[in-house]
Chains A and B, each alone.
Chain A
Amino acid sequence: MNFAQVFDPLFRVPFANGLLLALVLPLLGAYVRLRSEWLAALGLAQVTAAGGVTAILLGVHPLAGALGAAAIAAGIKGRTERSGNDIYAVFLFFGWSAALLGAANSTRGEELSHSLLEGQLYFTTWANLGAVLALAALVAAAGPWLSKRLLLEHFFPENLAANGQSPWRLHLAFDLLVAFSVALATESIGVMATFCLVFFPPWVAFRIATSWKRALLHCAGISVTAYLAAFVLAIVLDQPFGPVLVGTLVVGGLVRLPFHKRR
C-alpha cells in the first residue's frame, strides 16, 4: 500500500482521461435516462468492444474499429426512429457474442477483449486523452442546444411534427454523441465501468434533485467523487480500476434509498 504512487507523473494522463469521462458520461446519461434508454451504454459498449476485437482481426487500430462500430450502431438506432431499450438489448447480445467469438479466434483479440471488460485506464495515452478532450469540448459546445431540444421533444413530442419538422436529425446527433462517448470510454475504462457511469449518477440524481439543473450538477458531483475515490483506492490497494469504480458507485448509490418516490 503506497499512497505516494497516486501522484506518480505516470498516472497524470490516465487521471485526466478518466476525470473527463467521469464528467461527460453521466451528463449524457441524464438524457439517456430521460429517453428511457438506460441500457444504451451497456449495449453500445458491447458493440464497440466487438468493433475493437474485429479491428484487430482485420489488422486495424482497435479504437478505429470501436468508433466505426459505434457509428454503425447509432445509424441503425436512428433508422428505427423510436426510443426505448429494446434495440440496445439487441446490441448487447450481438456485441457480447461477436466480441467473445472474435477473441476466441485471435490471441490479441482475447487480450483486448479481456482488457475491454476490466478496463485499462492506467495504460491510456495522450492519444486517448486527446480524443476525450475533443469529446468534452463537443459536449460543452453542443450540450445546451441538445439539452433544450431533447427536453422539448420529450415533453411536447408533437411540436416538431406539427411544425413540419422531423426529429430524426436530433435523434441521430444525440445517438452518435452517446455512441462515440461510449466507444472512447470503453477503450479507457472498460464495458461495465462505462455503463455504470452512464447509468448510476443519473439514477441517483433523478431521485434526489429538485430541478433539472441540479440533477445535472448532482450527476457530475456523484460521478467525480466516485471517480476520485476509485482512482486512489485502485492504486493504493493495487486493484483493477474498473471494478473498484463500479463498486464505489454502487456504494455511493445508497444515497438514493432515503429519498422515496413521491407523487
Chain B
Amino acid sequence: MPSLLLSYRDVVAGYSEPVVGPVSFDLQPGDVLALVGPNGCGKSTLIGALTGASRLHSGEVVRGEGLSIAYQRQRPVRDTDVPLRGDELLRLTRAGASEPPESLRPLLKLRVDRLSGGQFQLLNVWACLGGEANLVVLDEPTNNMDPSAVRALGDLLHATRSDRAVLVVTHDARFLTGVSARVLEVGR
C-alpha cells in the first residue's frame, strides 16, 4: 500500500473566524486532487493551513514521513526589474535537472520579468512540478493564462511523476480534462 503523504481530517480553517470546512482528504503518491469551488469559497484558506497563512480551527493536518512540499502561490512573486533568467528560476527548485517540456524551452534564456503573465505562470508551475518535492501544491495555476497556456498546463500535469502527489486549487477544473484527477468540491 502506498505511503500517505498528507491527510486532512475534518479540517475547519479560517482566520479569526472559521471560513471553510470540515474537509477531509488523503493524498498518496500518484494522486492528483483538485479542490474546486467558486472564488471566495475558502479553497486557498484551506491549503493555507499547510503554511500557517490561515488558522486551523478544528480537525487535523497530518504530514506523512519524508513529506517535502513545493508550493506555487496564487499570485507568483513577479518583480519588475530583477534579472533572473528562466533556467535560473528552475534551478532554484532543482527543476533544472529535469528535461523541461517543449513549450517552456524558449523561455529558459529569457529574464522572467520580461515574460508574459501566462508564460511566467507556466514556468512557476514547472519549477514546482520538475523539482524534487513529493507533494506539489498549485494554487489557481490557470491565473493569467490564455487557452494555449492552459492546454500546456494540462500537459505539464500529465508529465508529473508517479511517485508524487499534486494538490490543485482551482475555480475552473476544465484544464484537468484528460488528467486522472479526483475532484473535491469545497464550500458546498
A contact residues vs B (CB 8 Å cutoff): 34, 148, 151-152, 154-159, 161-164, 205-207, 209-215, 261-263
Q: Give the complex CA separation of A205 and B83 in angstroms.
A: 8
Can you name the residue of chain A whose Cβ is closest to the Cβ of B67?
A163
B contact residues vs A (CB 8 Å cutoff): 50-53, 63, 67-73, 76-77, 79-85, 88-89, 92-93, 111, 113-114, 127-128, 137
Which B residues touch A155, using CB under 8 A?
A: 76-77, 84, 89, 92
| Interchain CB contact (< 8 A) of A152 among B76, B79, B93 | B93
> A211 contacts B83, CB within 8 Å?
yes
From DSSP, what is the main secondary structure of chain A's interface residues? helix
Q: Give the complex CA separation of A263 and B52 in angstroms.
A: 33
> A210 contacts B111, CB within 8 Å?
yes
CB distance from B74 to the nearest CB of A (A): 10
Can you name the residue of chain B whose Cβ is closest to the Cβ of A262?
B114
Q: Can you list 21 contacts pairing A with B, beta carbon distance less than 8 Å?
A: A152-B92, A155-B77, A155-B84, A155-B89, A156-B93, A157-B73, A157-B77, A158-B73, A161-B51, A162-B51, A162-B137, A164-B63, A206-B82, A207-B81, A211-B83, A211-B88, A212-B84, A261-B80, A261-B81, A263-B80, A263-B114
From DSSP, what is the main secondary structure of chain B's interface residues? mixed
| A158 and B51 in contact, given A210-B111, A211-B84, A212-B84 (Cβ under 8 angstroms) | yes
| A163 and B69 in contact, given A155-B92, A157-B77 (Cβ under 8 angstroms) | yes
CB distance from B116 to the nearest CB of A (A): 9
A-B contact count (CB 8 A): 72
List the 3 shortest-distance A-B pairs measured between CB atoms, nearest first: A161-B51, A209-B83, A162-B69
Q: Give the complex CA separation of A107 and B107 in angstroms.
A: 61
Which B residues touch A156, using CB under 8 A?
A: 70-73, 77, 92-93, 127-128
CB distance from B175 to the nearest CB of A (A): 22
Which A residues touch B113, using CB under 8 A?
A: 263
Q: Most chain-A Cβ atoms within 10 A of its Cβ — which of B52, B63, B92, B127?
A: B92
Which B residues touch A262, using CB under 8 A?
A: 114
CB distance from B64 to the nearest CB of A (A): 13
CB distance from B71 to the nearest CB of A (A): 4
> B83 contacts A212, CB within 8 Å?
yes
Q: Give the complex CA separation of A207 and B92 in angstroms.
A: 21
Q: A148-B92, A151-B84 are in contact. List 11 more A-B contacts (CB 8 A).
A: A155-B77, A155-B92, A156-B128, A161-B53, A164-B63, A210-B111, A211-B83, A212-B85, A215-B83, A261-B81, A263-B80
Q: Most chain-B Cβ atoms within 10 A of its Cβ — which of A156, A164, A213, A261?
A: A156
Q: Give the complex CA separation of A99 and B52 in angstroms.
A: 41
| Interchain CB contact (< 8 A) of A211 among B51, B63, B71, B85 | B85
Which B residues touch A152, using CB under 8 A?
A: 92-93
Q: Give the complex CA separation of A238 and B82 in angstroms.
A: 39
Which B residues touch A157, using CB under 8 A?
A: 73, 77
Q: Give the complex CA separation of A206 and B84 in angstroms.
A: 9
CB distance from A94 to the nearest CB of B (A): 29
Q: Give the complex CA separation of A155 and B80 in angstroms.
A: 13
Which B residues touch A34, using CB under 8 A?
A: 79, 82
CB distance from A47 to the nearest CB of B (A): 27
Q: Give the complex CA separation of A263 and B88 in angstroms.
A: 18
| A154 and B77 in contact, given A161-B52, A212-B88 (Cβ under 8 angstroms) | yes
Q: Give the complex CA separation of A214 and B85 in angstroms.
A: 10
> A159 contacts B85, CB within 8 Å?
no
